Amino acid sequence: MPSPALKPSPLSAVDNLPNSPTDLEEDVASVIAPLDSSGFEQSLVLSPHKANTEESRWLEEDASDSGQGALVSVQSTRLLLALPEPRPDTASSTNLRSSACPASPTNGFGIALRWAALQHTSRQGVEPKSTRQSSLPTKYRRRSHSNMVEREGAPHRSQDVHEVAEMLRGLQAHQSKKGGKGGFSCKKNTFSVVGSDITVDSWRMQDWDYKKPNLPTYARGLFTTTNSKGNPEIVVRGYDKFFNHGEVRKTEWRNVEQNTRGLYELSVKENGCIIFISGLEDGTLLVCSKHSTGPREDADTSHAIAGERWVDKHLATVGKSRRDLAFKLRAMNATAVAELCDDEFEEHVLAYNPETAGLYLHGINLNLPEFVTYSGKEVDRFATEWGFKKTMHLIEEDISQVKTFLDKVAETGSYDGRETEGFVIRCQARDSSGAPWEDWFFKYKFEEPYLMYRQWRECTKAIIAGKPPKYKKHKDITEQYLQYARRRLHENPEIGKLYNQNHGIIKLRDDFLAERGLKGSDIIRQELEAGEETGSAVTKDVVLVPVATIGCGKTTVALALAKLFHWGHIQNDNIQGKQRPQRFASKICETLAEYPAMIADRNNHQRRERKQLIEDVQKIIPKAHFVALHYVHDRGNFDQIRQIMRERVLSRGDNHQTIQAGSKGQEEIIGIMEGFLHRFEPVNLERDPDDGFDFVIDLDVTASSRENLETVVARLNSEYPKLFGKMPTGEDLDNAIEAALSDYKPDIKHEIGDRGSNKSKGKNNNKQQSTQQNGAAQKPKEKERKPEYFGITLPTSRITSILDAVFQAADAESAKMYRILHSQRRVQSEFHVTLIHRASAGQSPQNQEYWDSLVGLHKNARNAEGADVNAEIELGQCKVLLERIVWNDRVMCFVVRLNPVDGSAMEWRSVNPMAHVTVGTADQSIKPVESNDLLARWLKEGSGPQTGIMETQVKGYVELPGSVKPFLQRS
């Protein structure tokens, strides 16, 4: 029923309340929320529309602060409030005293509540609210010091309008694509809420930005709105972004041991997608995925809609409604956080059958800029009350107990009889000694059997596509699985079609395991017992591949390893002449004939470099073992990394093959280093070519070379014990580093061009010195061709396959233009997204700056490769999301969105009004640039017979890998 109208009065009385007790109970919609350990059991929390009144807010906050409360019931036309007295440990009695006050329409609900509250406060000797400094209990103020696991009852705190407004100002200041002064970028999307007039804003930052200090908030999953009073408020608040153990400095075990405190709550990490649930002020239940709500045009069923359906199912089991849950969460000022696990909707790695599918409630967060969350005990209590599934969790008192437990479970990836992806550890942490304690999470993800499952998935997709499967680990069982998969795919080709749509992946895997009578954890256990898959048999053909930038200390560590173990060491800077990448790989293979292991000393900071090295070496040594020495460029620690690397490079003077800091100016050196930092692409074992590494050793750029050397030796000995003879002592490690630092003198020195410099070096310089970072002797005589435009190339086969699939299912009229393009060979042979054209550079200062930066990146990348002057070198990578296809009778194109590659510092953008990929034009007289005109008309006039423009969605989430490169002028 609609809420009664509010009549302004000194007491904010609510007039025209219904006389029916039943109606009044529904209208009050009061709920009871547990208080903290202040000695009182309950606190009155009012329904959202009642809490809008000054009196209601007064009572609610006063009760939360002083411990007063009221159990509300309605009998006839009288409102009865049971006022709790102190428990025995705080006073003399536990009896409830009842007081009554007329609740008639004439004196109003607000008067009754105020009367009762004044009676109670006077009995308890509590000062009126206006004389107290704060209505917020000390333990729940900003930067709470109480441990979430130790709290008795649930935390509560109302939103502070000024805090929320300050947070939003910080986010709004960084909405530009380039990011603001604070070094992060933020995107806002506005959504209409189905069944409500309210709109909500979703705020999204890049994952790596969460590693940076002093953000307005660290909430990953944040929705805000403006309420009926015109005030900003948070309506959905996810967890602070939390990281895997060892992923950032704060989650390294030595820091976890020093800067966290128990109790430690370990909850099983469910394998699904996250769903947020909260209540809006009009009683609407808001259900969101991580960054959106409601239906989506590019999917038949969005994650949010799937979540809503499961909410309805769970509520039905306890006889409650969406409105009930909305009022409850609104009163708590909280967001319920759940994992949607439903294989019929979307498969992940772990299986959820119809009996185990649903929403697993694993958190309740207060809607505040800072992170305050409920304990697992309170979350379970809420899940039981509202019909949600519960996650398993346990409590440990000491961090050493946590580590022992997790390491044991990690051996098989199985806990309590079921396979699990890992655990989320909830505790409190501080940034440093003496800093305040805060609620904090980190995760411990298990590698196995999930890496094995992912390997099977990628191998299956490879054989469906007719490609040879690539796998490094679990070789015997993987070969057995692939034999089984090939047989099943041959028997039923429909399995392959569904597999490529991410359906049937788990079933095929589980069918194989069932035929063998095994579980994934059994396989891992058997391999461990047999000594398999641990690298214990590796004795030769090991290639250590640094992934670094200038100043990380890679050569120092490489020299020390070569001295300690008499391994090979090849420096890319010593290779001169043309085709240097291929010759570098050949030299590595020659070295492996003499040494059991060698270090491929090159930056390898981009995926294309790692791909070239791995593929070229495997052509000669197919069973070579590649290990990445990954110098982690932690975005949260980027300023310190940059400063330390500069100090190293500038202090060594000319004792380097390509960066002679003693001869070059400091500004030029820093420019070169910045170019490498921007192009750095971190290792990702789940993507090609990094899935070719046996394993990755993460190294700390800010640590000393001595520390990193010890890390490398320890991990290599753990993975490849037979590669070593007698292990070095600490003194041996010290001596090796000392020798690397004092004895090393570069054999050959080269020049590298300054970032963005367009000045010619002159003919004499070309004859007298190398101009490449990696040692090319002289510039080719051919005339240098300048870039005509920069763009992102896309895989042609993927684009054509998508076009064929889209228009094969379309009606004749919709498919007509594509059929014409296809039959007349007017579909382009190559596809790209134009970032900026030479002609566009001078149209604005921003465009000119962007053009110059890309020209500088191209020059430095070309020099770093030692490539020919007219080589179209890859500058980086970008993900391209295909959203729609738009066309008329002249031109057809994709509308796309550009997304940065995970971990990359570069965010590529197109200066065109709308990023697009031209599919083809009707005849040679129509230039591809006409796509811009088409899209401008489409945005303004829309599609349909009246405009002559047609459009269709690209169903699903189709994101293609793209290569950023220059397109040079024709000679």
Q: Which residues have a catalytic role annotated? A: 269
Distance CA 286, CA 329 (A): 10
Is residue 360 exposed (0-12), middle (13-18) or buried (19+ Cβ within 10 Å)?
buried
The total of other beta-carbon atoms located within 10 Å of residue 393's CB is 19
Strand runs (DSSP E) across 330-411, as ranges?
A: 334-341, 358-366, 389-390, 393-396
Contact 682, 877 (CB under 8 A): no
* Tally of CA atoms within 13 A in the half-sphere of 871 that contains its CB: 19
Contact 44, 69 (CB under 8 A): yes
Strands 358-366 and 389-390, bridge-based pairing:
parallel
Contact 442, 242 (CB under 8 A): yes
Contact 683, 902 (CB under 8 A): no
The total of other beta-carbon atoms located within 10 Å of residue 420's CB is 20
Please report, to the nearest 10 degrees, the dihedral formed by the alpha carbons of residues 644, 647, 651, 656 taken in order.
60
DSSP annotation string for 10-59: TT----S--S-HHHHHHHH--EEEE--SSS-SEEEE--TTTTTSHHHHHH
Element spanning 899, H or E: strand 891-900
Distance CA 173, CA 87 (A): 50
Please report, to the nearest 10 degrees, the dihedral formed by the alpha carbons of residues 126, 130, 136, 141 taken in order.
-130
CA distance readout (Å), 353 to 343, 346, 429, 506: 7, 12, 37, 11
* Residues pairing with 75 in the sheet: 78
Strands 542-547 and 597-601, bridge-based pairing:
parallel
Alpha helices in 680-795 (DSSP H): 705-719, 730-743, 762-768
Tokens 């430095």, residue? 860
Distance CA 2, CA 18 (A): 11
The alpha carbon dihedral of 62, 68, 74, 77 has a sign of: negative
Strands 695-700 and 625-632, bridge-based pairing:
parallel
Residue 889 is encoded by which pair of tokens?
A: 């009778």
Distance CA 735, CA 728 (A): 10
Strands 418-419 and 414-415, bridge-based pairing:
antiparallel
The total of other beta-carbon atoms located within 10 Å of residue 572's CB is 25
Burial letters for 836-854: b for 16+ Cβ neighbours within 10 Å, e otherwise? bbeebbeeeeeeeebbebb
Distance CA 858, CA 676 (A): 12
Contact 717, 564 (CB under 8 A): no
Contact 520, 601 (CB under 8 A): no
Distance CA 365, CA 377 (A): 14
From the list 683, 852, 673, 877, the residue with the least C-alpha distance to 773 is 673
Residue 722 is encoded by which pair of tokens?
A: 């037979």
Distance CA 808, CA 595 (A): 56
Residue 857 is encoded by which pair of tokens?
A: 């990146």
